[in-house]
Amino acid sequence: MTDTSGNPGSSKPWGGRFSTSADPAAEAFTASLAFDRRLWSHDIRGSIAWAHALERAGLIDKVECGAIEHGLGLVRAELESGRFTFRRELEDIHMNIERRLIELAGPVGGKLHTGRSRNDQIALDERLYVREVLGDLDAALVAVQSALLDQAERHRTAAMPGYTHLQRAQPVLLAHHLLAYVAMLDRDRGRFADCARRVNVLPLGSAALAGAAFAIDREALAHELGFDVPSANSMDAVADRDYIVEALAAAAVLGMHCSRLAADLTLWATAEFGFVEFADAFATGSSIMPQKKNPDVAELIRGKSGRLYGNLVAVLTVMKGLPLTYNSDMQEDKEPFFDTIDTLEAILRVLPPMLGSLTFRVERMREAAGADYSTATDLADYLVRKGLP
């Protein structure tokens, strides 16, 4: 490796050609470590697989590969235990891990980046992360569906008014209403599953944009990391974030469904409807009105859908005018995506216990189901069946 110890820019992976250090404000502005550090486990997993690929290609020997893998294991242990010291001047999680690897394993750690760019490295980390969280979201959605199904089973014969234009329309079963949301969530799961298939493509080996200059077995690399196939085009692999956009779009639709469910329950909990009561554990009071019982949890579920929409639009706007291939603008995909995942996980964590604790006032609902001529359509249909004009 070139000795850049006398170069003020030597702390940077790209510092060799620079004669002055980065301006502190610019350094702080461009650093992504504050948010991309959550990708550390995926970065280490990808780096271990890349070391194996370098060994298969004859670029490092077995001993060197073992030393790199051992060093990455030590870095992982530090990160897991909270002992790892993050250094903002190293910009991102990739360089923090690589620099610590070199400190622990010696100069051999510097060979790990052979044939690899941070461009294909971050694309890999993101795809590994997205694939993981999509699986977590599916499991969380199953729990919400189960809570809805349990309530539907408990109220199989409970009648209620169905609404159009917020006006009583026709009697329906409460179970039928709840199962409508089960069906919506089923499609949400399908959208995430479709997205996961497109996410599961290996970008590693694309290097900066033109592909690795070495004989890397990308099929073996894809197999080791659990990807279906390697990417077909190296420029596409490092330049696009459509898999992030697609996941954000599916998340926004899911947020809409959760918001509508919360809106129904919030409306039904009013004195004017009186169809449902929230458990005390999922409601709050008023600082001035002692009689109040506010459905704050449901209201926040409804409100947080706006964040999901905003995050989708933010990433679409970042990507819309970028020429190929990688641009630093793409660093801005992470915070919106992480926020969406955190928001969805919070919503899906609170929904099942909240739904399970609802008390439906079935007699009030039954009385409302037959009021205001809501059976008029059924009566008209009956007369038609009897042959009356």
Q: What is the set of domains in the chain, with CATH numbers? A: 21-114 (1.10.275.10), 119-379 (1.20.200.10)
**Dist CA 151 CA 289 (whole Å):** 31
Nearest to 212 by CA among 301, 82, 124: 124
pTM: 0.91
**Residue range 184-210, pLDDT digits in tens:** 999 999 999 999 999 999 999 999 999
Confidence band for 290, pLDDT divided at 50, 70 and 90: confident
Q: What is the pLDDT of residue 258?
A: 99
Please name the residues in contact with 277: beta carbons below 8 A apart, sequence gap of 6 or more. 269, 293, 358, 359, 361
Question: Looking at the annotation, which residues are catalytic?
Answer: 165, 286
- Tokens 């859908």, residue located: 305
CA 322 from centroid of its chain's CA atoms: 23
Whole-number pLDDT of residue 231: 98
Exposure class string for 341-376: b at 16+ Cβ within 10 A, else e: bebbeebbebbbebbeebebbbeebbebbeeeebee
Taking only the tens place, the pLDDT of each residue in 318-360 is 999 999 999 999 999 999 999 999 999 999 999 999 999 999 9
Q: What is residue 11's predicted lDDT score, i.e. its pLDDT?
A: 60
Q: Which tens digit of pLDDT belongs to each residue from 216-253?
A: 999 999 999 999 999 999 999 999 999 999 999 999 99
Q: Averaged over 178-184, what is the pLDDT?
A: 99
Smallest CA-to-CA distance from 226 within 133, 138, 124 is with: 124
Is the pLDDT reported for residue 20 higher than 80? no
pLDDT band (50, 70, 90) for residue 287: confident
pLDDT bin (cut points 50, 70, 90) of residue 165 is: very high
- Quote the pLDDT of residue 182: 99
